[in-house]
């Protein structure tokens, strides 16, 4: 028997239309390489992968968020994408391609925000998630060479993430869109 979570989130038995992968930290970190391997394993069985340039995906059909976001007025080459930026780019491509069943791959500490943003932005999605529980050791996810300051350590991540999770949706969207800076 299949278990169904909130808002159509299926935990078992769904064949996804697309795999949505969120990067975490430094491009060549152990965590991102493992996310890529997991995504490529799903990509080999059919569904395309939607991700960021930060993830060195080599196999399967791949769509990149940056390719969609280049058309924005405030786009700067090489900028770090917010979780919401990736979801907004995905929303545009998913609408054009007709993707409704989404498998999300993300770091365990990032998954909650990825799911929240996807549920808020996508119309009637069927979301399934894969969290790599066996890689939850802090040294795997956090990297001192990471570009964003908040993925360089556990305390830095939770300091920022705690504030973000407390923000009302409208304020979060405005901050992610860069309206305050």
Domain over 6-176 is classified CATH 3.40.50: yes
Mean pLDDT of the region 96-112: 87
Q: Residues 6 or more apart from 95 whose CB is under 8 A from it?
A: 123
Residue boundaries of the structural domains of the chain = 6-176
Whole-number pLDDT of residue 18: 86
pLDDT tens-digit readout, 162-178 = 999 999 999 998 888 76
pLDDT tens-digit readout, 6-51 = 444 444 456 788 888 888 877 777 777 778 777 777 766 678 888 8
Single pTM value for the model: 0.81
Q: How confident is the model at residue 131 (pLDDT cuts 50, 70, 90)?
A: low
């Amino acid at each position: 028997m299949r278990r169904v979570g909130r808002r159509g989130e299926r935990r078992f038995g769904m064949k996804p239309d697309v795999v949505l992968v969120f990067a975490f930290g430094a491009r060549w970190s152990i965590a991102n390489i493992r996310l890529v391997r997991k995504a490529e394993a799903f990509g080999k069985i059919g569904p395309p992968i939607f991700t960021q340039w930060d993830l060195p995906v080599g196999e399967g059909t791949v769509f990149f968020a940056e390719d969609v976001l280049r058309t924005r007025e405030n786009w700067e080459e090489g900028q770090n994408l917010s979780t919401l930026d990736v979801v907004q780019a995905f929303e545009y491509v998913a609408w054009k391609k007709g993707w409704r069943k989404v498998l999300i791959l993300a770091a365990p500490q990032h998954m909650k925000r990825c799911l929240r943003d996807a549920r808020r932005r996508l119309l009637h999605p069927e979301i399934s998630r894969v969290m790599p529980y066996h890689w939850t050791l802090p040294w795997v996810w956090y990297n001192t060479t990471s570009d964003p300051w908040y993925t360089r350590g556990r305390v830095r991540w939770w300091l920022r993430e705690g504030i973000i999770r407390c923000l009302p949706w409208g304020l979060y969207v405005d901050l992610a869109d860069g309206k305050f800076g």
